[in-house]
Amino acid sequence: MPIKTSAEFKIEYMQILDESGNVDASLDPKLSNDALLEIYRQMLLARTFDRKCMNLQRQGRMFTYIPVEGQEACQIGSCFALEKSDWIVPAFRETAAYIARGMPIKTLSYYWMGSEKGNSAPKDVNAFPVSIPVGSQMLHAVGIGWAAKLKKHRTIALTFFGDGATSEGDFYEAINFAGVFKAQMIFLCQNNGWAISIPRSKQTATQTLAQKGIAAGIYSLQVDGMDVLAVYKATKDAAERARKGEGATLIECLTYRLGPHSTSDDPKKYRNQEEADSWKKKDPVDRFKLYLQKKGIWNEALEQKLQADADALVENGIKEAEGDNVPKLEDMFDYVYAEMPLVLKEQYEELKQIENEKKAAGE
Amino acid sequence: MPVEKMNLVQAINACLAQEMERDPNILLMGEDVGVDGGVFRVTDGLQAKFGPERVVDSPLAESGIAGTAIGMAAYGMRPVIEMQFDGFAYFALHQLVLHAAKMRNRTRGRITVPLVVRAPFGGGIRALELHCEPIEISFINTPGIKVVCPSNPYDAKGLLASALQEKDPVLFLEPKRLYRAFKDDVPTERFTVPIGEAKIAREGKDVTIISYGAMTRTCLNTADNIKSEIDCEVVDLRTLSPLDEKTILDSAKKTGRVVVVHEAPKSGGFGGELAALIAEKALMNLQAPIQRVTAPDVPVPLAKLEEFYIPDEFRISRAIRNAMHF
Ligand SMILES: Cc1ncc(C[n+]2csc(CCOP(=O)(O)OP(=O)(O)O)c2C)c(N)n1
Ligand SMILES: [Mg+2]
C-alpha cells in the first residue's frame, strides 16, 4: 500500500512595514491618522519610562528592573487591537503593554520600587498582575477566554509570554486546553531570541514556535515583531476569529530585547554586540516614525511635543510613587484573606508591638 | 590541609569542580548554568572546564530538568540540577516529591535516584517577587529526600561533597543572602561534612537558639551582642531532614530554654516540628515555653517590606529575653 500524507501544515510570516518604513498596501490595516499617532505616543511613553526605570535602578531608587526596549511594537500593537473590556495576562516584561492598557505610571513604578501597591490595576484596567513564574500565566488567559465563551460575552483574553516560556509544561497545557475548548483568547509570543543566556535554538528543536500551536489545533502564524502594524493586524484578525467562536490563535512575534535580561544581567557573557546592533537597525519605534514621516503626519515639532508630554507623565508618576511609598507593617497583612483570621491578627499585633519597642529603643 | 579564603559561591563552585574530577558520572544541568555560569555565578567556568555535555544549559523547564535527571540518576549518572530560584522548584514538585523521593521505596530498592537538587534559598537580597519562597517544609515533609542547608562556606563545601556520594536524593539549599556575605578558611582539598549532623555553632549555657541557613548568621550575631547579659548556645541544624535529634535535645536539656528561628511562616513551619520534638523528649528539662521567631503567616512580600518579614536581631534577642526571664 502506498504511504499517504495524513496532514500537512504551513506557517505564514507577515510583515507590513519594512525597515525603511514602506507599507505593503495590500495588508495595510488602514488605521486613521489619529490612531497611528496614538500608537506612536504610547511607544514614546513606554520607551521613556523604560529608560527612566533603568536609570532609577542604577541610582538605587528601584530594585531589579526588567527592560522592554525593542519589544514595544509587540506589546503596543497587540493591545491596540483589543477592546476596553478585554483582558491581558502578561508575563514580566510587559511594561509597554500595561502602558497601552492605561495602567498609571505611578502603579508601574510602585511595582519596580518593591511596593505592594504595584500589582493592583485600577478598576477600569483589565490586566492581570506581573507573572514572574515563567509560562504559568497562559493558562489563566485560557480560563478567562473559556469563561467568557460560556457566559456568551464578547470579551477575549490575550496572554504575553517569551520564547523561553514555550519550554514549560504549562505552555503545552495552555495551548491544548485552548484548542480543546475553543477558548476566546490569543497567545502572543514574543520570541526575542533569548531566555536570559539561552538562545532560542537551544530552547527547542522545532523550526518555529508558531508550529507548536498547530500541534494543539489552533491557528498560528509568525509576524515581524518590530513592525507595529503587522502585530496590530494579526491581533485584530485573531480577536475577530475568537469573538466569532473560531477559537484561539498563536501569534509568534519575531523580536529582540535590545537591553539586558534584567538590571542584574550582563548580556556580554553570552551574546555578541553585532547581533544586538543588527537588531537595533530594526528598532520598532524608529521604523514607525519613518513611516509616519513618509505619510506626512510626523514632524520635528510634533516629536518634541510628544516627548515633552511623555517626560512629564513619567516624572509625575515617579514623583507620586516616591512621595507615597513608606512601607507599613499592615501592608503585609492586608489582603491575605478576605477577612483577617484571628491568628493573623495576633501575629500582626505582636509585630506592631515589636515595632513600637524598636522605635522606643531608637532602632 | 591547605586552606583558601572562599565565600559561599566560591566554595560550592570549588566543590563541584573537585567532585566532577573525581566522578565522571556527575553532570550539572539547569537554566543558564553553562555559558552564563548561573545567575549567581555559582557554576562559573565549569562548562569551559568540563564541556557542554557535562554542564548542560537546559531548556526552560524545571519539571523537565528534574524528571530527566531522575531517569539519568536511575541509569547510573549523578545529576546535580539547579532550580534557578527557590520559588521555581515548585514547578518540579511532582517529579521530586512523587517520583524522586519515592522511587527506592516503591521499587523495594531496585531503582534509586542519587540526585542533588541545588537551589538558591531564602530572602534578604531584595530580589524580585517569588524569588524568595520558603520551600523547605514541602520537602522536609517528604520522606525519601534529604534536605541540607549550610550556613557558611566551609560546611557548604563539605556537605555538598557528601551529597554527591549519597544514595538518596538531596535538596541542597544555598542561602542566597550569604553567597557573597563573608569568606571562610576552606580546605582546598576534598573533605566531607556528614549529612544528618547538626553543629553547635556557639557554646553557651543559658538559652539554646536553633536555626539554619542565613538565619544562623543572624542568630550568631545576636548571641554575640547579648553575651554580657545572656550566654546563648547556637545550634546550626545544617541538615533539616533527617534531623539530628540528639544534638538538639542535648542542648535543650542543658540550657532548659529554647528559641527556634526561621524565615518561613510560623504555622506549619519547621519551628513547630522542632518545638514538638523538644516537648516530646525533653519537656521536663524545660524552664520556659519554647519561643518561635519566624515570618508571620503572610505571603513573602515585595522587597520594600522584606525587613518586616524576615526575623532580625531585635526580634531574636527579644525572644531570648522572654525565654530567659520567664
Ligand atoms: C518557572 C521559572 N523558572 C525560571 C525563572 C527565571 N527566569 C526569569 S525570566 C527567564 C527567561 C525567560 O525567557 P523568555 O520566556 O524568553 O522571556 P524573556 O525574558 O525573553 O522576555 C528565566 C529563566 C522564572 N522566573 N520562572
Ligand atoms: Mg525570550
Which of B94, B99, B131, B262 is the catalytic position? B131
Amino acid at A69: E
Q: What is the pLDDT of residue A362?
A: 87
pLDDT digits (tens, 9 = 90+) for A319-348: 999 999 999 999 999 999 999 999 999 999
Q: What is the ipTM of this complex?
A: 0.96
Answer whether A178 contacts ligand 1 (Cβ < 6 A): no
Q: What is the pLDDT of residue B70?
A: 98
Four-CA torsion A317, A320, A324, A325, nearest 10 degrees: 30
Q: Is the pLDDT of residue B282 over 90?
A: yes
Between the CA of A147 and the centroid of ligand 1 the distance, in Å, is: 28
Answer whether B90 contacts ligand 1 (Cβ < 6 A): no
Mean pLDDT of chain A: 97
Fold of B3-187: Rossmann fold (3.40.50)
Residues 61-80 of A with CB under 8 A from B: 63-64
Of the candidates A130, A262, A327, which has its C-beta nearest B304's C-beta?
A: A327
Answer whether A165 contacts ligand 1 (Cβ < 6 A): yes
Radius of gyration of chain A (CA): 22
Of the candidates B34, B88, B314, which has its C-beta nearest A363's C-beta?
A: B314
Question: Residue B116: which H helix or E strand, with range?
Answer: strand B116-121
Cis peptide before B79 (omega within 30 of 0): no
Mean pLDDT of chain B: 97
With left for phi above 0 and alpha for psi between -120 and 50, is residue A121 left, alpha or beta?
A: beta
Question: How many A×B Cβ pairs under 8 Å?
Answer: 122
- The residue-averaged pLDDT of A264-291 equals 96
Between the CA of A88 and the centroid of ligand 2 the distance, in Å, is: 19
User: Active site includes B131?
Assistant: yes
Q: What is the DSSP string of A17-69?
A: B-TTS-B-TTT-----HHHHHHHHHHHHHHHHHHHHHHHHHHTTSSSS----T
Q: Which residues of B touch A197 (CB under 8 A)?
A: 32, 34-36, 57
Answer whether A93 contacts ligand 1 (Cβ < 6 A): yes
Q: Which residues of B touch A361 (CB under 8 A)?
A: 314
- The residue-averaged pLDDT of A145-151 equals 98
Q: Percent of chain B at pLDDT above 70?
A: 100
Q: Is A133 in contact with B130 (Cβ distance < 8 A)?
A: yes
Per CATH, B3-187 and B199-324 having the same topology is answered yes
Q: Percent of chain A at pLDDT above 70?
A: 100
- The residue-averaged pLDDT of A250-272 equals 97
Answer whether A200 contacts ligand 1 (Cβ < 6 A): no
Q: Which residues of B touch A115 (CB under 8 A)?
A: 302, 304
pLDDT digits (tens, 9 = 90+) for B60-76: 999 999 999 999 999 99
Best A264, A345, A347 member to test B by mutation, with max B CBs in 10 Å, is A347
Q: What is the separation, in whole angstroms, between the first and last Cα of chain B?
A: 46
Nearest CA-CA partner of B89 in B137, B54, B18: B137
Radius of gyration of chain B (CA): 19
Q: Is B304 in contact with A167 (Cβ distance < 8 A)?
A: no
Cβ atoms B234, B204 nearer than 8 A? yes
Cell of B108: 523495594
Give the integer Cα–Cα distance in Å for B202 and B220.
Answer: 7
Fold of B199-324: Rossmann fold (3.40.50)
Q: What is the DSSP string of B11-32?
A: HHHHHHHHHHHH-TTEEEEETT
Q: Which residues of A touch B307 (CB under 8 A)?
A: 327
B65 → chain A, closest CA residue: A168
Q: Is the pLDDT of residue A95 over 80?
A: yes
- The residue-averaged pLDDT of A82-105 equals 98
Q: Is the pLDDT of residue B256 over 90?
A: yes
Best B226, B266, B297, B302 member to test A by mutation, with max A CBs in 10 Å, is B302
Q: Which of B123-137, B160-174, B257-271 has the lowest mean pLDDT?
A: B123-137
Give the integer Cα–Cα distance in Å for A300 and A307.
Answer: 10
Domain range annotation of chain B: 3-187, 199-324
Give the integer Cα–Cα distance in Å for A14 and A351.
Answer: 58
Answer whether A261 contacts ligand 1 (Cβ < 6 A): yes
Cβ atoms A56, A62 nearer than 8 A? yes
Domain A12-18+29-326 coded CATH 3.40.50.970: yes
Assign B1 a pLDDT band (cuts: 50, 70, 90).
confident
Q: Is B304 in contact with A344 (Cβ distance < 8 A)?
A: no
- The residue-averaged pLDDT of B32-46 equals 97
pLDDT digits (tens, 9 = 90+) for A106-147: 999 999 999 989 999 999 999 999 999 999 999 999 999 999
Question: Residue B263: which H helix or E strand, with range?
Answer: strand B258-265
pLDDT digits (tens, 9 = 90+) for A163-217: 999 999 999 999 999 999 999 999 999 999 999 999 999 999 999 999 999 999 9
Q: Is A114 helix (H, G, I), strand (E, B) or coil?
A: coil
Q: Is the pLDDT of residue A363 over 80?
A: no
